[in-house]
Structure 1
Amino acid sequence: MTNLCKICMAREGDWDRATLVEHVRNAHGDEPESVEQVYPDLREEVVASPSEPKSTDDGTGPDPDGPSETLSDDLIDSAYGKKWFLIGVGGAGNNILDAILLRRETLAENNERRARIWKGGLAGYGLLNTNVSELEQTYYAQEEKGYSRNDLLPNCTIGFGRHDYAGAGYRWDIGKELMEADFEGDADPFRERWDMKPERIQDSQAVLFVHSVTKGTGCGATPVLADSLRENVLDDDTVVPKPLFSSVVIPSKGTEYSEFGGRAKVNGVVGLARTSQAVDAIIPFDNNRLENVQADIRPQIDRLSEYNPPQYTGINRPLVAFLEAFTMSSVPQFLDRDATMSIMGDVFDPADSFRPVEDKYQLNPDVSFTPAVILAPVLGRSRANTIDRSKLEILVRNALFQNKLAEFDPTTAWGGTFLVYGPPEKMDAVSDFVADGALTEIISGEEFLDANDVSGIETVDVHVKQLVTPDLDDVHLWGTLWNPTMSSLSEMYDQAQRLKQEGNSEQAENVRKEWDAVEALFSALGRENMA
């Protein structure tokens, strides 16, 4: 088998030196921590070459050939180039942000190197809600910020001074109006009162809104918030606008669906459609699927039950695991030299998940906007001691069927982006399957994405990236599939369409006002709608 550098995944023919030692010395000599982690037997030979004196740096002083420790410390505290600015909107969004922060604290308290994923991945974060009682119960308010109710009202509430802070009551139109009230006239709560610093938003790679689309606050307020953020915070002079993501939660059938009848379904359709006008990509998580995923993708999150309601402690774990994998792939390694010990391989930036599919939409001059790309989430895991093609097929099946985090049909997707990651001793074999296209071929096969089943000129593209993560024991497959048909969304659409056609109420009229956006989004789902 061709020699492979396990740090940068470059093959022998691509090295700039003849031997592995020479390549590692030349390409990674300034990364002694990475060399020690991946090639402990070579560290002394790499760091102290025959023509150079052995370094006396014990890791506590400045590196004469690289940035000083002071500079590194300054950069790791900076938001510049970090992956996400994360905003939790409404009760569901508040709970998920709490779960992420508690996951970060769990990793840090256990001295796991993976804590660097969140340290290097979060440029900043904040909570917003119309319900101050929900805000008071959060880890963010109680421990992260130590806020009193008087602190929460200006720093975290939507519609400050315009209501009784008791929530939007499953009325998305009220959530919308309260958020709009915050920006009336020349008001700019980002700069005037919210504890979300505009410069940190500007410095991040992308903004991620986390919310529900079936209640009132997250559903109604988030699209207004996204539009206002673009207008008030982000630079209009950029050639390519900063990516905005929406991570949305769809409720379980039999709970909110049955308890609140068609309200949650109609809110979901309208919320998704309005959000799709304001953001670039939407990641829908289906609570039914989150409840049923296997235990091996439910990460440890200490004290979660103290801050998440009992019905969410189980489903938020795999959701956090998915976002953690998404985050670690583009944590900027220059911020912390130790971070290269945790993240090596392809850099996978936020836009890589949705940009490849944007120009596959049909040209339609009568449509005022192109809807956000729907990214159906999957996350699989293989505990196999050795990885061969059959084990990869099992891993793909595990991700696309047993552990998909939303209900969808993979054979209807426009394609997708995948990230395979694991420890160096296993990724050595996996890398061969990535390099020769075998993993792409498996994912594209008839049993999975069925990439050959297309009727138009456009192709079903599959992009596979890889990472080496020494702190893990198993190989994982993370993925987002573009614009598939989703049964849970179809059921919601049918309910909203009946209301729109037959209803004679204010709710029905609100749906009619948003129906062009609904049609634009839902007419893009399914491979038959690809240009």
Structure 2
Amino acid sequence: MVYVFAGTGQAGSAIVDDVFGHRRVSTPASPLVFNSTIRDLRNLSNVDEANQYGIAERHGLVERGTPGFEEQVTGGFGRNPVQADEVMSNNREELLDTLSTHFDEPDGTPGDIPFAFVCLGLGGGTGCGIAPHVADAIKTYTDGVAQIIAVAVLPNTKGPVSEDDEKISAGRQAWNTVYGLDRLEESVDGIVLVDNQRLAYEDAAEGRFSEYNEYVASGLVDLISGSTLERIDPGEYDDVDPPVVDLQDVVTSLSFDTRGTNSRPGYATIGRSVSMTQSLLGYLLPFVGSQNVDSSALSRLAASKQTLSGVSPEEAEKAIGLVRAPVEYISGGGRRIETSTMRRFLEAQCPEVNLGVALTRRNLASFTSLFTYRRENVDRITEIEQRADEYEAESEVGQTI
């Protein structure tokens, strides 16, 4: 069994790279990244070249180790997801062959992939155009078994954005976003939104994107790995019987009508808060310097750090949370984290809640939460749709894209 993390385009590949910067997530997870410029692939630090692929208009899907790779994968798609979509449409069989190469069992049978994550940026061309094809290929490869979560980055649509001295229309990015979301909904089971506009109001925002990706990656690792991240068996400890959430619980929290024929992906936002459980003195002297953790503050802080601009958890319909803490903060001791307080906080926001607890050997307590909404209730998407309509009307986009 393996979990697949597929990064598409610059933003999606960067998130996958940061996920695999967490050493303990390397098993049972496996990365694949697909990009249209060699520069972006060179920026990856944690994904081996054997797991990297280029996308080129003339050459289609190109393995990183292919002779002449740098000459074949050069130009990108100029923020045109329609063009990227067409190229990948013509290379669907090659994409399936790629999955077979990486995940087939020794006897040639398809590998066991119960869950996959497809990461992408919605404002550009490559990721926005090819991500649905990657999701569809994983579904096809697993004969429909794999459940797929998209991690999608919304662009800043407040105004023109400068990149490599080129002015990029916010309206064009909005149009790309709607184009990507409409197609993505047909291919995935749930969508986690990461909003770059959250950084638009900060000084030196461009320098914060790397930190933002790391923040998102840490939240994903917590939720995805659950109790298996550090392989700590709660049964080894007396008075410890924590509730568990697994990836199936995460998918259920991200989907609507999951048992019916009209299943729809939900749109979620992720938040994470951390509190140290050991003072500096405690690092120097054993059994000294332990600190209490404010359960209520940890919950509120995670909710305030959600990765979507202009959204309120009170408008969510589902929520899932994971508490990670040292064993002494989970057992019945005096420093016990009040998980019931955290559950009540989530239940005060929305009607359907799931809460799990996992142990860690690190001197910190963290709370990671997902709040899930229906698309029509996310004002940020409505704003982007309106901006996209304006752009289409102004530029007659049907003729120019």
Match of residue 463, structure 1, among 354, 357, 360: 354
Pair 1:120-2:27 in alignment: yes
| Deviation (angstroms), 1:332 | 8.1
CA separation in 2, counterparts of 1:201 and 1:215?
32
Structure with higher strand content: 2
Give yes or no for contact 1:120–1:332 (8 Å, CA) kept in 2.
no
Give yes or no for contact 1:251–1:257 (8 Å, CA) kept in 2.
no
CA separation in 2, counterparts of 1:332 and 1:472?
12
CA separation in 2, counterparts of 1:468 and 1:205?
24
> Which residue of 2 is the match for residue 95 of structure 1?
14
Q: Which runs of 5+ in 1 are unaligned?
A: 1-79, 105-114, 294-308, 452-459, 511-531
Question: 2:151 is aligned with what amino acid?
Answer: S
Give yes or no for contact 1:127–1:156 (8 Å, CA) kept in 2.
no
Alpha-carbon deviations, 1:106-144, whole Å to 9, x = none? xxxxxxxxx43x13341x111111223432443357x65
Instruction: Normalising by structure 1, report the TM-score.
Output: 0.59
Structure 1 residues 426, 362: CA separation in 2 closer, same or farther (over 3 Å shift)?
A: closer
| Deviation (angstroms), 1:344 | 8.5
Pair 1:235-2:161 in alignment: no
Structure 1 residues 441, 317: CA separation in 2 closer, same or farther (over 3 Å shift)?
A: same
> Which residue of 1 is the match for residue 252 of structure 2?
355
Question: 1:355 is aligned with what amino acid?
Answer: T
Alpha-carbon deviations, 1:257-296, whole Å to 9, x = none? 5742201111112212211110001111112436889xxx
> Which residue of 2 is the match for residue 517 of structure 1?
none
Supply the RMSD in Å over aligned alpha carbons: 4.0
Question: 1:405 is aligned with what amino acid?
Answer: T
CA separation in 1, counterparts of 2:110 and 2:154?
27
Match of residue 495, structure 1, among 383, 387, 399: 387
| Deviation (angstroms), 1:424 | 1.4
Structure 1 residues 274, 327: CA separation in 2 closer, same or farther (over 3 Å shift)?
A: same
CA separation in 2, counterparts of 1:194 and 1:128?
16
CA separation in 2, counterparts of 1:119 and 1:283?
21
Structure with higher helix content: 1
| Deviation (angstroms), 1:246 | 0.7
> Which residue of 1 is the match for residue 306 of structure 2?
404
Question: 1:477 is aligned with what amino acid?
Answer: F
CA separation in 2, counterparts of 1:478 and 1:154?
37
CA separation in 1, counterparts of 2:187 and 2:51?
32
Matches within 5 A, 1:398-477: 398-401=301-304, 403-407=305-309, 408-428=311-331, 433-434=338-339, 437-445=340-348, 449=349, 451=350, 460-469=351-360, 471-477=361-367
* Structure (1 or 2) with the larger CA radius of gyration: 1
Match of residue 210, structure 1, among 119, 123, 131: 119
Question: 2:390 is aligned with what amino acid?
Answer: R
> Which residue of 2 is the match for residue 129 of structure 1?
35
Alpha-carbon deviations, 1:297-338, whole Å to 9, x = none? xxxxxxxxxxxx9563222121121122123205388xx789
Give yes or no for contact 1:154–1:193 (8 Å, CA) kept in 2.
no
Tell me the percent identity.
18
Alpha-carbon deviations, 1:458-514, whole Å to 9, x = none? xx2111111121x222221111111164443232111123345x356244797xxxx
Instruction: Normalising by structure 2, report the TM-score.
Output: 0.76
CA separation in 1, counterparts of 2:235 and 2:156?
39
CA separation in 1, counterparts of 2:160 and 2:235?
44
Give yes or no for contact 1:413–1:481 (8 Å, CA) kept in 2.
yes
CA separation in 2, counterparts of 1:210 and 1:477?
22
Q: Aligned with 1:488: secondary structure?
A: helix
Give yes or no for contact 1:156–1:194 (8 Å, CA) kept in 2.
no
Structure 1 residues 311, 399: CA separation in 2 closer, same or farther (over 3 Å shift)?
A: closer
Question: 2:369 is aligned with what amino acid?
Answer: G
> Which residue of 1 is the match for residue 215 of structure 2?
318
Matches within 5 A, 1:22-171: 80=1, 82=2, 84-101=3-20, 103-104=21-22, 115-116=23-24, 118-122=25-29, 124-139=30-45, 145=50, 154-155=62-63, 165-171=74-80
CA separation in 1, counterparts of 2:325 and 2:194?
24
Structure 1 residues 277, 248: CA separation in 2 closer, same or farther (over 3 Å shift)?
A: same
Pair 1:393-2:296 in alignment: yes
CA separation in 2, counterparts of 1:332 and 1:382?
19
Question: 1:353 is aligned with what amino acid?
Answer: V
> Which residue of 2 is the match for residue 260 of structure 1?
168
Give yes or no for contact 1:155–1:194 (8 Å, CA) kept in 2.
no
> Which residue of 1 is the match for residue 372 of structure 2?
482
The number of equivalent residue pairs is: 362
Q: Which runs of 5+ in 2 are unaligned?
A: 55-59, 278-290
Give yes or no for contact 1:133–1:166 (8 Å, CA) kept in 2.
no
| Deviation (angstroms), 1:234 | 0.9
Pair 1:329-2:226 in alignment: yes
Pair 1:249-2:153 in alignment: yes
